[in-house]
Amino acid sequence: MRRQWLSATIFFVLSIAAYADQVTLKNGDHLTGTVVKSDGKTLTLKTDALGSVDIQFDAIQSFSTDTPVYVQNGADKKIYSGAVSTQDDSVVVASQPPVTIARANIAALRSPAEQTAFDKLQNPGLLQGWTGGANLGFAVTGGNTETENLDIAFNAARTGLRDKLSLYTNAVYAKNNAPGATPSTSANLVQGGARYDHDLTPRVFGFVGADFLTNELQDVNLRSVFGGGIGFHLIKNPATSLDLFAGVNYTHESDYVPAANGIPSGTTTMSFAAGTFGEELTHKLGKSTVISEKGYFFPDFQQSGEYRATFNFGTVTKLNKWFGWQNSFGDIYVTNPPAGTKDNDLIFATGINVSFTH
Are 273 and 250 spatial neighbours (Cβ–Cβ below 8 Å)? Answer: yes
CA–CA distance, 173 with 150 (Å, rounded to integer): 5
Would you give the DSSP letter of residue 13? H
Mean pLDDT of 144-160: 81
Contacts 24+ apart (CB under 8 A), 96-102: 99/73, 101/71, 101/73, 101/75, 102/75
CA–CA distance, 36 with 199 (Å, rounded to integer): 30
CA–CA distance, 48 with 31 (Å, rounded to integer): 10
Is this structure's pTM higher than 0.85? no
pLDDT tens column, 34-64: 999 998 889 999 988 888 899 998 899 999 9
Are 179 and 208 spatial neighbours (Cβ–Cβ below 8 Å)? Answer: no
C-alpha closest to that of 167 among 137, 215, 209: 209
CA–CA distance, 352 with 324 (Å, rounded to integer): 6
CA–CA distance, 303 with 297 (Å, rounded to integer): 15
Burial of 231 (0-12, 13-18, 19+ CB in 10 A): buried
Which pLDDT band holds residue 353 (cuts at 50, 70, 90)? confident
Give every CB contact of residue 333 below 8 A, 6+ residues apart in sequence. Answer: 308, 309, 310, 343, 344, 345
Domains in the chain, ordered, with CATH? 20-122 (no CATH), 130-357 (2.40.160.40)
57: helix, strand or coil: helix
pLDDT tens column, 201-212: 989 999 999 999
Would you give the DSSP letter of residue 202? S
Predicted pLDDT of residue 83: 92
Q: Which of 157-171, 228-242, 258-272, 327-341 has the lowest mean pLDDT?
A: 258-272
Beta-bridge partner residues of 278: 245, 296
Instruction: Report whether pLDDT(358) > 80.
Output: no
pLDDT tens column, 181-234: 666 777 788 989 999 999 999 899 999 999 999 988 778 889 999 999 999 999
pLDDT tens column, 263-322: 666 788 889 899 999 999 999 988 889 999 999 999 999 888 899 899 999 898 988 888
